Structure 1
Amino acid sequence: MGNITKRGSRDLVADSTILLEDSLVAALHSRLYEAIIKEDCNTIKTLLRDYPVNQPLTIPAKPTSYRRLLSQTYTILPIHLAAEYCKPQSLLCLLQHGADPEVRDDQGFTTLHQMLLNWPITSASWAKPNTEIQKILADIQNNAVMCLRILCEHGAQVNAPVGDRKKHSPLHLAITYGTYPILSLLAQNGAQVNAINKASMTPLHMAAEKLDKNMVETLIACGANVNCTVSSTGSTALKLAVCTASSKAGQLLAAGVDCIRLLLNHGAQVNAQDHEGHTALHKACFGGREVIINLLLEFEANANILTRNGESPIYMYLQRGSNIRNEMLLARLLYHTYPLKLTNKQGILPAGIMQPEFQFLRETLINLTKNPLSLEDICKRNIRNVFGERYKFYLKQHLPGKLWNSIYIFYDFDYLLK
């Protein structure tokens, strides 16, 4: 028979000791966890005599937690626990007993990052909470603000980037997960409002791309540079906002007009070009959303700027058949365009007008490119380009009515194309 190893009494005693120690540690973790959640500061102080404040707790995963999908337990630092559950008294107690706000978890998040990742979202539709649920939500929101203030007062680094591939700053996280009141609080405590992440985007770029008017307004008030560009693409906040507003979702939701107007009113350069030479008007014309195109023209967008590939805004507009069917908008763009350039550098016509249903229009537009305007019409176009839509009523007060009408009254499509 083979050798049989028998465990001695010493081994059994050692195993029992280990199990007892593990049980005591688990009980200590559980008690500290409960004390932090209940904000029982006296118990927290007592337990910290025997437990290092910056050592992670191992606790059972809650049934509602995504962590239960991974394991039955998870680890979390005591200070991160207090921040995640918005427990200001527990957070203050831990900080007063040596907790390090800059200690990071295994994903590279500091306490401030955890605070912003788990920021409670409440409805802004009610000015004053009335129902019991609204009061509870308001209390959670107030506790979150208190926690953020406590962290800032105790030296939390408001510009520390997350240790992941995106390298978001706290302001970037606030844009992604939070609400706009957080932004001013972070800025007041030294957050760099023009900080860039790994993609070279500032918080304003992200807010503009989301068409969040409140966040854009707050960031501008805190000193955000409205004309800062994304280094990899050359895109500005204005162009990003126009792209989103001109997308199918933007058109369906009728979103973005107020956000774009806000950027323009605060000095966004309407004719800024990205690395490919596209302006905001190029992107708006491709999307074909009339209200956005008109808004850019109102702020003196130049309809004659070409991309590096020789494409004008009207070229982009004529790429899509759905755009071409809006004849009045096409007429307005033609009214602002001279000389009319229908091809790109490769001599290719826009895809939209190549459709059989637009054969007559295609031939008509090609003829327009061959017939130069009269000197009078060129002068009128120059006036419209210089003064734009915003100052046309100022000119109306200083020009004879007949002259002003000949410059600014838009004629129907047939007239322009005859």
Structure 2
Amino acid sequence: MGNIPRKGSRDQVVDSAKSLEDGPSAALHWKLYEAIMREDCTTIEPTESIIPIHLAAKYHKAQSLLCLLRHGADPEVRDTTGLTTLNLMLLHWPVTSTTWAKPGNRMHRILTDIQNSAIACLRILCAHGAQVNAQGEISNKSSPLHLAIAYGCYPVLSILAQNGADVNAINEASMTPLHMAANMLNKEMMEVLIAYGANVNCAVPSTGNTPLKLAVCTASSKAGRLLGAGVSCIHLLLTHGAKVNAQDYKGQTAIHEACFGGREAIINLLLEFEANVNILTRNGESPIYMYLQRSFNLRDTALLARLLYHTYPLRMTNNQGILPAGIMLPEFRLLRDTLIKQSRKPLSLQDICKRNIRNIYGEKYKWHLKQFLPVTIWNSVYCCYDLVYTS
């Protein structure tokens, strides 16, 4: 349940203090530790040790933290692992939830107080010049925003951004905070980052992955409510300008990933935002090729027909002439033979025109197009499948 004070939290402080008992300053340290934990500002005095300010931040003792800073404590001093006071506080952020606690009861008040204390400490650090873009030396060069995403510190994001945190900072893996939030399907965090100017089309140099590609990849492995949450995150990115047909270093797009995952809700959403189902990867693989890779997908014949409805030309092999693995199973022999035959049979000029209209205008504008086309023509474009198969 996060950093809710437990029996033994005082013991942790005792152990920390005992680690300093090898010198004459042990009594002073112990006195200082106790004063910080009690938030007894009359007893807190300046010290050369870096431990007090870290302790105050770690245990979210706002008054002690403020007192130390007023006495000249340096918020940027690093511990033996290279972490600043702000880094340490984020690593020990109280991951608590009040959704299950009845509003107004004792547990709800405790959880609320814990969060409020942590937020107060963060505001104090920012007000006293804490570097909101400082990277930890051994924490994958993560900025405070990266740490906040990794440890689920949702209330932190807006405070850091308001105090100058770079929402497009990159860590050691060249990922921005939005990449991380999208990969975790955390819509609340994504909304905050986008509101403060996060680049929705930033690509990881080594892979070419955008936040959209990562969100589609993660969501495609989910089901039920988690799938619904993933679709919501994908929609958020698309409505804020994510390029639906951006290709990664392999030439794959979001629709390639979605087709491999076989989640109809994701595929439909991408098609609504004009995903191109005819883009090939560097290895010559189309989205329909990715769909046919998995036998699980082939059992959803309605979705397969919908993808075929947009595909032209139908390309059944990759650059090496290899057919998709899923369709090679004996149970799909009839479907395989039919699709191979269709791929070798050119469509009529009329059918090619229909398909081009569907791909150019997409699902988003088809009802608008109905106002301008004769009913018979519109019906022939949108109300029939011109590439059929027998299963």
TM-score (norm 1): 0.85
Compare 376-385 and 303-312 and name the one that shifted more: 376-385
SS in 1 for 2:305: helix
CA distance in 1, matches of 2:73, 2:218: 43
Counterpart in 2 of 1:197?
171
Q: Contact between 2:53 and 2:65, CA under 8 Å: does it hold in 1?
A: yes
Residue type of the alignment partner of 1:35: A
| CA-CA distance at 1:250 after TM superposition | 5.2
CA distance in 1, matches of 2:261, 2:346: 29
Gaps in structure 2 of 5+ consecutive residues: 1-20
Compare 237-246 and 124-133 and name the one that shifted more: 124-133
Does the alignment pair 1:214 with 2:208?
no
Of 210, 226, 231, 1:253 maps to 226
| CA-CA distance at 1:137 after TM superposition | 1.2
Does the alignment pair 1:55 with 2:49?
yes
| CA-CA distance at 1:31 after TM superposition | 1.6
| CA-CA distance at 1:398 after TM superposition | 2.6
SS in 2 for 1:194: coil
| CA-CA distance at 1:181 after TM superposition | 2.5
Compare 280-289 and 135-144 and name the one that shifted more: 135-144
CA distance in 2, matches of 1:408, 1:29: 77
Counterparts of 1:321-336 in structure 2, within 5 Å, are 321-336=295-310
**Cα RMSD, aligned residues only:** 1.9
| CA-CA distance at 1:402 after TM superposition | 2.7
CA distance in 2, matches of 1:201, 1:193: 11
SS in 2 for 1:344: coil
Counterparts of 1:307-318 in structure 2, within 5 Å, are 307-318=281-292
CA displacement, residues 68-99 of structure 1 (integer Å, 9 cap, x when unaligned): xxxxxxxxx11011001111100010011111
Counterpart in 2 of 1:236?
210
Gaps in structure 1 of 5+ consecutive residues: 1-20, 57-76
CA distance in 1, matches of 2:349, 2:380: 14
CA displacement, residues 91-111 of structure 1 (integer Å, 9 cap, x when unaligned): 010011111100111111100
Counterpart in 1 of 2:112?
138
Displaced runs of 4 or more, over 6 A: none
Does the alignment pair 1:89 with 2:83?
no
CA distance in 1, matches of 2:244, 2:22: 65
CA distance in 1, matches of 2:188, 2:287: 30
CA distance in 1, matches of 2:102, 2:360: 48
CA distance in 1, matches of 2:207, 2:111: 41
- How many correspondences in the alignment? 369
Q: Alpha carbons of 1:282 and 1:392: their partners in 2 closer, same or farther (altered >3 Å)? A: same
Q: Contact between 1:116 and 1:178, CA under 8 Å: does it hold in 2?
A: no
SS in 2 for 1:276: coil
CA distance in 2, matches of 1:132, 1:410: 62
Residue type of the alignment partner of 2:389: L
CA distance in 1, matches of 2:210, 2:200: 8
Does the alignment pair 1:28 with 2:28?
yes
CA distance in 1, matches of 2:87, 2:237: 28
| CA-CA distance at 1:251 after TM superposition | 6.3
Q: Contact between 1:250 and 1:256, CA under 8 Å: does it hold in 2?
A: no
CA distance in 2, matches of 1:197, 1:228: 13
SS in 2 for 1:417: coil
Compare 120-129 and 130-139 and name the one that shifted more: 120-129
CA distance in 2, matches of 1:250, 1:101: 44
Of 105, 130, 150, 1:156 maps to 130
Of 326, 349, 364, 1:390 maps to 364
Q: Alpha carbons of 1:416 and 1:23: their partners in 2 closer, same or farther (altered >3 Å)? A: same
Residue type of the alignment partner of 2:259: C
CA distance in 2, matches of 1:410, 1:300: 20
Q: Contact between 1:324 and 1:352, CA under 8 Å: does it hold in 2?
A: yes
Residue type of the alignment partner of 1:44: I
| CA-CA distance at 1:336 after TM superposition | 0.6
SS in 1 for 2:69: helix
Does the alignment pair 1:339 with 2:333?
no
| CA-CA distance at 1:140 after TM superposition | 1.3
Of 384, 388, 391, 1:416 maps to 388
CA displacement, residues 213-272 of structure 1 (integer Å, 9 cap, x when unaligned): 11111100000000000011001000000000012x456832401000000000000000
Residue type of the alignment partner of 2:56: A
Q: Contact between 1:122 and 1:141, CA under 8 Å: does it hold in 2?
A: yes
| CA-CA distance at 1:121 after TM superposition | 2.0
Q: Contact between 1:298 and 1:390, CA under 8 Å: does it hold in 2?
A: yes
Of 198, 212, 227, 1:224 maps to 198
Of 133, 142, 155, 1:168 maps to 142
Residue type of the alignment partner of 1:361: L
| CA-CA distance at 1:165 after TM superposition | 5.3
Compare 399-408 and 342-351 and name the one that shifted more: 399-408
| CA-CA distance at 1:126 after TM superposition | 7.2
Q: Alpha carbons of 1:35 and 1:97: their partners in 2 closer, same or farther (altered >3 Å)? A: same
CA distance in 1, matches of 2:55, 2:342: 69
Q: Contact between 2:101 and 2:108, CA under 8 Å: does it hold in 1?
A: no
Does the alignment pair 1:37 with 2:9?
no
Q: Alpha carbons of 1:165 and 1:81: their partners in 2 closer, same or farther (altered >3 Å)? A: closer
Residue type of the alignment partner of 1:218: V
Does the alignment pair 1:279 with 2:253?
yes
CA displacement, residues 127-157 of structure 1 (integer Å, 9 cap, x when unaligned): 9941111111111111111111111111100
CA distance in 2, matches of 1:322, 1:22: 64
SS in 2 for 1:416: coil
Q: Contact between 1:129 and 1:138, CA under 8 Å: does it hold in 2?
A: no
| CA-CA distance at 1:39 after TM superposition | 0.5
TM-score (norm 2): 0.90
Counterpart in 2 of 1:6?
none
CA distance in 2, matches of 1:298, 1:384: 11
